[in-house]
Amino acid sequence: MSKLRALIFDVDGTIADTERDGHRVAFNRAFAEAGLDWQWSIPLYGELLEVAGGKERIRYYLQKYRPDFQPPADLDSLIASLHGTKTKYFQQMVAEGAVPLRPGVKRLLKEARSQKMRLAIATTAALPNVTALLQHHLGPDSLSWFEIIAAGDIVPAKKPAPDIYHYVLQAMSIPASDCLAVEDSYHGLTAALQAGLKTVITVNDYTREQNFSGARLVLNHLGEPDQPFTVLAGNTGEATYLDLTLVHHLDQDRSSSYI
Ligand code: XBP
Ligand code: MG
């Protein structure tokens, strides 16, 4: 009998494909508004995803790609201000419907709720971005679907550090062995595995080629009854989309589903 009792979701790249056409565009708008000539192209942004967290990403960009930039005395304030503007633009894009949910996300969340599976979020992104995304797609009361939404600076060390997952597990008073994490990236997987979590990966264009060894499953997306997933690694039996039956199966099938 599977003892899985909770699903813990990442947000960026997992619940929604936020990075390329969401966060990246919002960063560029914030830079332009501040009169800066910084432009994050699609390939450059893929390199910048090496560092999680919006504020950390801006700092990394300056260090690695703009060594010529003369930082002001208070660089922290500049970064915080740019990030605040970027958050405003990202929320605007969500409100305009520019950041859709990924296939299967709403279905799986609803099924989990109907079966009293506990839900949580563990993300590096800023909380306002997460709440905007959830409320836009799942309704105003959807924040209450999650026992805890752990986001942004709530822990000092962001993914790939496992801290955000440790925080969630502690807040829920649940052992890692009773939970499944859903992630999209190597950094996310590393964080989840270090916290002892079984993990399903749904890849996106930025993460498709990453190393996902240690994941229970690697899929192109969670799938829908009329939109089957492609299995990139792992064992899904006859299933064509990830539902709670498959989730419990993954928990029980300890030997064969590791990759
Ligand atoms: C998400 C991130 C975030 C977003 C932007 O990582 O790395 O930095 O790109 O977030 P994960 P901000 O999916 O592993 O949680 O809201 O900080 O700008
Ligand atoms: Mg992610």
The pLDDT assigned to 108 comes to: 98
CB of 12 sitting under 6 A from ligand 1: yes
Vertex 167: Cα angle to 11 and 194 (nearest 5): 80
| Partners of residue 16 on adjacent β-strands | 12, 101
How confident is the model over 136-140, as a mean pLDDT?
Answer: 97
The whole-model pTM stands at: 0.95
> Separation of 138 CA from ligand 2 center, angstroms?
19
- Residue nearest atom 4 in ligand 1 by C-alpha distance: 125
Ligand 1 neighbourhood includes 129 CB (under 6 angstroms): yes
C-alpha dihedral (133, 134, 136, 137), degrees to nearest 10: 110
Question: Options 1.10.150.240, 2.60.40.10, 1.10.3720.10, 3.40.1050.10; which CATH number does 19-95 get?
Answer: 1.10.150.240
Torsions phi, psi for 201 (to 5 deg): -110, 135
The pLDDT assigned to 257 comes to 43
Residue 255 CA to ligand 2 center (angstroms) comes to 27
Provide the phi-psi class of 251: left if phi over 0, else alpha when psi is between -120 and 50, else beta. Answer: alpha
Residue identifier of the C-alpha nearest atom 17 of ligand 1: 54
pLDDT surpasses 60 at 259: no
Whether residue 203 contacts residue 219, with contact meaning beta carbons closer than 8 Å, is answered with yes
Delimiting residues of CATH 1.10.150.240 domain(s) in the chain: 19-95
The number of the ligand nearest the C-alpha atom of 125 reads 1
Calculate mean pLDDT across residues 145-151.
Answer: 98
CA distance 255 to 161: 27
Ligand 1 atom at minimum distance from 19 CA:
9
Minimal CA–CA distance to 13: which of 159, 226, 164, 155?
159
Does the annotation mark 178 as catalytic?
Answer: no
Nearest atom (ligand 1) to Cα of 53: 8
Q: Which CATH superfamily is domain 6-17+100-252 in?
A: HAD superfamily/HAD-like (3.40.50.1000)
Of 65 and 1, which is predicted with more confidence?
A: 65
Q: What are phi and psi of 121, to 5 degrees?
A: -125, 135
State the average pLDDT over residues 209-218: 97
Q: What is the pLDDT of residue 252?
A: 82
Answer whether 133's CB lies under 8 Å from 99's CB. yes
Q: What is the pLDDT of residues 236-252, one digit of tens each?
A: 999 999 999 999 999 88
Residue 242 CB contacts under 8 Å (≥ 6 apart), including other chains: 104, 108, 200, 217, 219, 222, 223, 229, 236
3-state secondary structure (DSSP) of residue 217: strand
What is the Å distance from ligand 2's center to 207 Cα?
A: 9
Q: Is 12 a catalytic residue?
A: yes
State the distance from the centre of ligand 1 to the C-alpha of 53, rounded, in angstroms.
Answer: 5
All CATH 3.40.50.1000 domain ranges in the chain, comma separated: 6-17+100-252
Q: Which residue has the tokens 């299995």?
A: 231
